[in-house]
Every structure is written in structure tokens, then in C-alpha cells.
Amino acid sequence: MQRRQFLTKSGISLLNLFLSGCGWTLANIQAAATNPNLSNELYIYTWTAFVDEKLLQQFTKETGIHSIANIFDSNETMLARFQVSGGGGYSILYPSDYMVKKMIDLGFLLELDKSKILVEDRLFPRFKNPEYDPESRYSIPIAWGLTGLIYNRNQVKKPPEDWDYLWQHQQEFAKRITLLNDVREVMGAALKSLGYSYNSSNPKEIKAAYEKLRCLKSAIATFTTEDWKTQILTGDIAIAMCYSDEANRIIRENEDLAFVIPRSGTSFAVDNLVIPKTAPNIAGGYAWLNFILQPQVLAKLCQRLSFGTPSEAAFNLLPLQFQKNPILFPSQNILMLCEEISPLDNETNELIDRYWTLLTSN
């Protein structure tokens, strides 16, 4: 299992609440307080990018519910832990688009009661009625971003423009390259570098992507979704495959770092809020949805944690400089080159998983 990190745990009595705060009314709070199904603890399983101590404390202040966040570094890690633990006690999960579809098919997700979601749905058109969850019956999009390469301009004299740069310069940067610990992202990038789709189900194309990655293996320091951040700041690595929101945060800490979206295309990922059927605190899950989806809460969170929002209402509250950030909100020309990661059939998933095991274990 992947490393987990317990972020925080905070709470305050509902009796001390007498302000409506960010969209909550006194009637909502009183109803929550008298709801026998509402526990005073809410366990959340999420990406590191989407929660911090300030957010959890604010939620507790608004609702009186203790919020505990555990962290995963890939969709596959999240699903594996969820299955092995029988739900793990989590009432809120943050799966990406294709994983939402997979969890729906497995019967793991609760169909949302829209009457319990008090915040008006004001999404950009492209995020409404997604293919992975028609009519958004089981999920609500919370963030989006692209995958690309972050690099140190002092170490990388010729900036990368595409995925093939890694293969062309692997001797120069041997053991100073990291790739994500994410099978669909890594295999997808290799497929894209060969001119194929991120979502290819063709066994010959998938094998070709694996063989190409195997040629790069000796130059890869590690497969990681988290540790590259410290390593690139200390100069231990020169190039890292990463998500755009995390690149934007790290670049704030070191002006020598830069981010590029590969010109042959990359993945367009949408992360979502869902409530599993096994949730021990369904009422608390709806409380989290209503809290986090408020435009003013989401806009402040986007600025603080640096990720793109699918909420048009929240986007309109962002400072102009933030709205024009090309890392978080790239141009339509770039977005046209990107693909959403789609669910694959079981046979293809098993094939990719076998290749991934061979790649990462040898």
C-alpha cells in the first residue's frame, strides 16, 4: 500500500455556531444537529492537493463535524485500499473521471440525492453531463488539470517540448527523472509519444508503449506522485512528470522551475467528490458537499492550494491574475490536444497492470 498522511483533526460544538457562514443557514445547522444519522466524525480520502488544515478547521467551525483526511497518490491506490478495507470508514472520496466510472460499474457509489445538495450547480458547460457519469448521478466535479513535465532551467539547458525529450536525453539525465506512480498516466504518456491515444485498448500499441518505457527505465530515479517535489527543489532530480496544479505550487517556491505541456498532447483529468455506499456518515458527506461547493469557499481554496476549478461561479471570484495563469487555465488550443482518461475493459486493464508490474518491479 502507498504511504498515507494524516493531515489534521479538528472540531467544535454545534451549540457554538450562530453565524450562517458560507451558505449554511440556521435551519440547516439545526437539522444537522438533530439528524440521528449524522456522526460528529467524517473521514475523507483525497489527493494531497485538495485539503489543508485550514479547510478542515473551517468545515468543523461551520458544521461541528470533526474532519479527518487521509491521502492517496493514485486512483489505483485509492481503489485498492477501499476494496481491501471494505470502504475504510470513508464517507467522501475524490476519484478522477475514469475511476468514477469504474466505481459506478462495481456498484461502490451512492446515487446522489440532489435535493440534499443545497448549492446551485453553476459549472462550465464542458463539465456538465460527463461521459463517465451521465447527468452526474454519482459524482460532482471539484477540480481539473493536465499532466506535463516540470524541469529545472539551470539543469535543463534545452527545454523539453514533448514526451520524447525524456528518451532523447535519458543519458544526460540518468537517475534524475521521475515519473508519476500512476499506471494510466505513465502508459498514456508513452502511448501518446508513439502517436496513439492515451486510452488505447490495442494490445500491440500497449505492448509498444511498455517496451518504450522499458528502454527508459534505467534513467528513471523513481515512480512517485509526491516525493519529486522535494527532490526537484533540492536539485536531486532535473525533470519530473507531474500534475499542473502541483507544478504551479512548486514553481512558487523556486523561480528556476518551469512547466511544459507536451505538444503531442496529454491527459485532461477531472477529480470528483463522491459518497460511497459504505459511508458510515452519509449525512456528513452531504454536509461536506454543501460546504466545499460554495463558490466563495471553493475560490479561496483554489487560490490557496492552486488548482483549476470547473465551477464557473468560483472562477468568476478568482483574481484576474489567477484566471490568466496558463498552467492552471491553459488556452483552448492546448486543451484541444488533451484527452480525458476513459475507463478500459477488464481485459485491457489486466494487460496494462501486468506490464506496469513488470516495469515497476524490475
How many secondary structure helices (H) and strands (E) does the chain include? 15, 10
The pLDDT score that the predictor gives to residue 151 is: 98
Written as one letter, the residue type at 236 is D
CB-CB neighbours of 58 under 10 Å: 20
Among 309, 297, 21, residue whose Cα is nearest residue 143: 309
Q: How many residues does the chain have?
A: 362
pLDDT more than 90, % of the chain: 77
Please, how many CA atoms are within 13 Å of residue 60, restricted to the half-sphere of its CB? 20
The pLDDT score that the predictor gives to residue 353 is: 94
Q: Which triple of cell numbers denotes residue 173? A: 539525465
User: CA-to-CA distance for 102 and 132, rounded, in angstroms?
Assistant: 9
The pLDDT score that the predictor gives to residue 48 is: 82
- How far, in Å, are 58, 72, 76, 209 from residue 344 at the CA level? 38, 22, 13, 16
Strand 339-340 to strand 267-273: parallel, antiparallel, or no bridges (unpaired)? Answer: parallel
Find residue 152's DSSP bridge partners: 257
The pLDDT score that the predictor gives to residue 343 is: 83
The pLDDT score that the predictor gives to residue 19 is: 27
Give per-residue pLDDT as tens, 314-330. Answer: 999 999 999 999 999 99
pTM of the model: 0.78
Give per-residue pLDDT as tens, 122-162. Answer: 899 989 999 999 999 999 999 999 999 999 999 998 999 99
Q: Which triple of cell numbers denotes residue 336? A: 484541444
Q: What is the mean pLDDT of each run of 10 residues along the chain (362 residues)?
A: 31 29 38 51 92 93 94 92 94 96 96 91 89 95 95 95 97 97 95 96 98 97 94 96 94 94 93 97 96 94 90 96 93 89 90 96 78
End-to-end CA distance of the chain: 18
The pLDDT score that the predictor gives to residue 15 is: 26
Q: Which domains does the chain have, with CATH numbers?
A: 14-139+274-323 (3.40.190.10), 146-268+340-361 (3.40.190.10)
Mention every residue, 6+ apart, whose C-beta is less than 8 A from residue 235: 152, 155
